[in-house]
Amino acid sequence: MKNIFELEQQAHLALAQYHRWYQVYEVPFTKERIENQKDILSDDVEISSEWGTTKGKEGLEDRLKVYTGWQNAHHVKHTEVKILPNGQLSLEADILYQNIRPDNSKHSYTLHYSTELQPRENDLPLFTKLSLKPTGEVKEFNFEDAYPENRTKSFMHYWLYLIENQNSDKSKELLANDFLLQLGTGENISTLKGFDEWIQSISTRILTSTHSYKNFKVVDNKDNTFSVSVDFDWKGINLQNEKMIAETHHEWLLSNNKEERFARLKMLKVAIVKPFQVVADF
């Protein structure tokens, strides 16, 4: 049976990687953070900008040295993901870039990204091409840190993909040691065994599903944790091939070790806004 939510689910993977792309530039460089950057790139990735074109991810450390001491913020304004005829993913995006350099000079531009990613079986896709083009200059601006949003949105999209695809093994990378999930059904989960059972139980009810988010807010608690508030519109197909919808409100507490690929979920609290229900159409 064709997965009617394939594009939405693949978009989660592309966006998980895209929000990771910026993170290395938004916190001080370390060996681990540069390795995490290489983790999102194919071996022969082609990156082109007004500064020229580079091929391959070797030598990334040297290319990043120029940005040492810079304050960078990448505010993602619009994204669009498509599945190309060759099976690759394309991601087009518009961002606002803000920068303060060690000499205290300030720069801000709007940029358009055109990218392609190669999907991988049971894994995150890799960027094969990234093209950056300036689309405008911003003269006056107040610098706003974008790392908390990029860090938590990369987590969110990967988490949603894994939940939608009922992958409990890979989800464990996204769980803190002392996690607690309060699911809004009265069910609380705080063990890996309980988490596995919950993920397996989804497959006894749902064939496929997808989430779209709105009202996303993140607070940097300044103690290596983030508080996230977000609403999800959920669509799914149950085992009887009936269409279903729901709406939920989530509150998350994420712990953040900057050396790891992703933040980790310490606490999740779900409130049901619109109950899960069968509908005639989406």
149-279 shares the fold of 6-145: yes
Mean pLDDT of 237-257: 98
Whether this model's pTM surpasses 0.95: yes
**CATH, domain 6-145, list 3.30.200.20, 3.10.450.50, 2.40.128.130, 3.40.30.10:** 3.10.450.50
Class of domain 149-279 as given by CATH: alpha beta
Extents of the domains making up the chain: 6-145, 149-279
- Quote the pLDDT of residue 82: 98
Q: Would the pLDDT of 1 be above 70? A: no
- Quote the pLDDT of residue 52: 92
pLDDT tens profile 83-128: 999 999 999 999 999 999 999 999 999 999 999 999 999 899 999 9
Token pair 């079986």 in the structure block, residue: 121
Give percent of the chain with pLDDT exceeding 90.
Answer: 96
pLDDT tens profile 152-209: 999 999 999 999 999 999 999 999 999 999 998 889 999 999 999 999 999 999 999 9
Tell me what the pLDDT averaged over the chain comes to. 97
